[in-house]
Amino acid sequence: MEHSKSATSTDRAYRQLRDAILSGSLPTDRKVTETGLASMLGLSRTPVRAAIGRLLIEGLLQRRSGSGLWCVLPTPGEMQEIFDIRARLESYAAARAAERASAEQREAVKQSAERMSRHVAALAKRSDPDIARRIEEENAFFHRLILEAACAPRLERLLQSTVDVAFVSLTLQRYSLGQRVRSAGHHHDIAEAIALGMAEWAARTMEAHILAAAASFRNRYGVAAETPQDDKA
Amino acid sequence: MEHSKSATSTDRAYRQLRDAILSGSLPTDRKVTETGLASMLGLSRTPVRAAIGRLLIEGLLQRRSGSGLWCVLPTPGEMQEIFDIRARLESYAAARAAERASAEQREAVKQSAERMSRHVAALAKRSDPDIARRIEEENAFFHRLILEAACAPRLERLLQSTVDVAFVSLTLQRYSLGQRVRSAGHHHDIAEAIALGMAEWAARTMEAHILAAAASFRNRYGVAAETPQDDKA
DNA sequence: ATTTCAGAAATTGTATCCATATTCTTAAGT
DNA sequence: ACTTAAGAATATGGATACAATTTCTGAAAT
């Protein structure tokens, strides 16, 4: 659940670079170099290159023709795309989980939903300054539980490595209290659908859950509703 | 549309290893080593390691706990999973293509469907010994056209890593003539839906198109899920 | 002044080397 | 005979060295 403190240098480099890109501390308006990143991290180029390879696949870095390596943050349009993809894949995961989760897994999902409700209640009472982080972790845990219960290794890899969860939690951080209450309600609905083995209900609720997050993101970052006329990004 | 011979050693290593795994010329019942693969390809470990990194992400290689590197081919259950994922992602691509394809792209999709029909007709007349390959290429081209028209770079990357795994397995199977005729019909339907901008129709037809392929695959290779008996080839 | 060519600098791709961790083998002890 | 421990062999992760391609700079020629 938490990052094990010491992994390989490659893993550390990957996480550090990803965080640096997502937090905006790496420039997106000029090119970066492998050597520069390596010396910034205090490592040789070898592990940094491996990390760069992963980030290239995930799309957070790009090699532009004849002008080096660039950090790339998803445009609002791409964020919408990411949410749409997640809605489709996670609803599939929810349906599979409803069909094949073990009894313990169904119980665990329900308990996660319960905990989430308590966290949100605590947030309303301002009783815990650290509660926002707890909510985010609980949310990630909930989705991970379902993904595991879905018993779908390929789906898991796709969701984990290519459409980054960090984007979603970025959105979650800005939820209003009302949104959080409703989001916790979604978790309850999904948990119940999975517990009862109702795949279609689970899938549609998960879809709605993620599209709600997408809508919230759109509101925040000011991309008005999708215009029929094509805006090239 | 084909690989130019000149590329970086890493790319060559990646392609060679991927082909070797998918074609079954690398063992899946005992472990392989980086050093062994490198000397097999006549390269140093460095580019081979980069290639291995990509294959690990794609799931064609796995590091098993404390016992090295293994080649992994998708099980029939995973193939079903891959088809399900493709059905969801490519139907999304079709919907987006219906909404935002250019006039030229809509025309190109229709023309590809036309060519496919002609190829299938030629197949019926046995007039071209090479026709099966042509059909495969046209099919790949059709799907690629739609993916490009969808204007969704993330989706494109995501599908690229899942599709080609499915494709190689697909080429192992032989569609019956009747199936090919119906498949070409799907292409026409999808092309028309996209041409008319009818996103929902395009999406549902694409979904059905891929699930039909999945069913055909299951009949040949899968554990017969719930089919009482399979039909004649 | 603009263009072009050459040399220099820099960046990426590849190979080799080293260190650490893990496995396999062998020998010793109970 | 079986178990365990120690050392050897092997494999992987990382660093450095090297090569080749690409880019930048500058000067010369039209």
| DSSP letter for each residue of A148-205 | HHTT-HHHHHIIIIIS-HHHHHHHHTT--HHHHHHHHHHHHHHHHHHHHT-HHHHHHH
Q: From the CA atom positions of chain B, what is the Rg in Å?
A: 19
| pLDDT given at position B166 | 65
- SS3 per residue for B15-69: HHHHHHHHCCCCCCCCCECHHHHHHHHCCCHHHHHHHHHHHHHHCCEEECCCCCE
| pLDDT given at position A164 | 67
Q: Of A219, A226, A223, which Cα lies nearest the Cα of A76? A: A223
Lowest mean pLDDT among A110-114, B36-40, B155-159, B197-201: B155-159
Spatial contact of B17 and B45, defined as CB atoms under 8 Å apart: no
| pLDDT given at position A6 | 58
B181: its two tokens: 């005729």
Q: Is pLDDT of B36 > 70?
A: yes
Lowest mean pLDDT among A55-69, A167-181, B55-69, B164-178: B164-178
Of all helices (H) and strands (E), which one includes residue B213? helix B199-221
List pLDDT tens digits, range B37-46: 999 999 999 9
Report the residue of chain A nearest B165, measured CA to CA.
Answer: A154
Give the A-side interface with B, CB within 8 Å.
49-50, 53-54, 57, 59, 74, 78, 81-82, 84-85, 88-89, 92, 152-155, 157-158, 161-163, 228, 230
Paired residues of B32 in beta bridges:
B69
Report the residue of chain B nearest A231, measured CA to CA.
Answer: B100
Q: Do B81 and A154 touch (CB under 8 A)?
A: yes
Q: Quick one: which residue's CA is nearest to D22's C1'?
A: A66
Q: Do A54 and B49 touch (CB under 8 A)?
A: no
Measured CA to C1', the nucleotide nearest A63 is: C12
Q: CB A225: neighbour CB atoms within 10 A?
A: 6
Q: CB A93: neighbour CB atoms within 10 A?
A: 25
Of all helices (H) and strands (E), which one includes residue B71? strand B69-71
Q: Do B54 and A53 touch (CB under 8 A)?
A: yes
B64 touches strand D (CB under 7 A): no
| pLDDT given at position B170 | 60
How many residues appear in chain A? 233
**Owner of token pair 């009783």:** A127
Q: Is pLDDT of A101 > 50?
A: yes
State the angle between helix axes of B76-100 and B131-149 in degrees (0 to 180), rounded to the nearest 10: 60
Q: Which of B81, B154, B161 sits opposite A155 (nearest CB)?
A: B81
The rounded percent of chain B whose pLDDT value lies above 90 is 59
List pLDDT tens digits, range B85-125: 999 999 999 999 999 999 999 999 999 999 999 999 988 88
Distance in angstroms, CA of B98 to C1' of C24?
61
Q: Is pLDDT of B142 > 60?
A: yes
Query: Which residues does chain B have within 8 Å of residue A206's beta carbon, measured at their own beta carbons?
Result: none
| pLDDT given at position A131 | 87
Measured CA distances, B53 to A10, A215, B74, B156 (Å): 11, 36, 18, 20
Measured CA distances, B181 to A111, B33, B77 (Å): 51, 45, 27
| pLDDT given at position B185 | 96
Report the residue of chain A nearest B153, measured CA to CA.
Answer: A78
Region of residue A92 (left: phi > 0; alpha: psi -120 to 50; beta: else): alpha
Q: Which of A92, A154, A163 sits opposite B154 (nearest CB)?
A: A163
Spatial contact of A72 and A158, defined as CB atoms under 8 Å apart: no
List pLDDT tens digits, range A117-175: 999 998 888 777 788 888 989 999 999 999 999 999 999 988 876 666 667 767 777 78
Q: A113 or A159, which is more confident?
A: A113
| Residue in B83, B91, B155 to test binding to A, most A beta-carbons within 10 Å | B155
Query: Which residues does chain A have within 8 Å of residue B57's beta carbon, measured at their own beta carbons?
Result: 54, 57, 157, 161
Q: Which of B53, B54, B157 sits opposite A162 (nearest CB)?
A: B157
Q: Is pLDDT of B5 > 60?
A: no
Paired residues of A69 in beta bridges:
A32, A63
Q: Which residue ranges form the domains of chain B, and what is each CATH number?
A: 9-71 (1.10.10.10), 76-221 (1.20.120.530)
B40 touches strand C (CB under 7 A): no
Spatial contact of B127 and B36, defined as CB atoms under 8 Å apart: no
| pLDDT given at position B6 | 56
Q: Of A100, A98, A118, which Cα lies nearest the Cα of A192? A: A98
Q: Do B57 and A161 touch (CB under 8 A)?
A: yes
Distance in angstroms, CA of A31 to C1' of D27?
29
Question: Strand C and chain B: which residues 173-232 have CB closer than 7 Å?
Answer: none
Q: Classify A132 as helix, strand or coil.
A: helix
Q: Which range, A161-165, A219-223, A225-229, has the best average confidence (pLDDT)?
A: A219-223
Distance in angstroms, CA of A213 to C1' of C4?
56
Query: Which residues does chain B have within 8 Å of residue A50's beta carbon, measured at their own beta carbons?
Result: 49-50, 53
Categorize the per-residue pLDDT at B233 as very low, low, confident or very high, splitting at 50, 70 and 90. very low
pTM, to two decimals? 0.87
Q: CB A227: neighbour CB atoms within 10 A?
A: 8
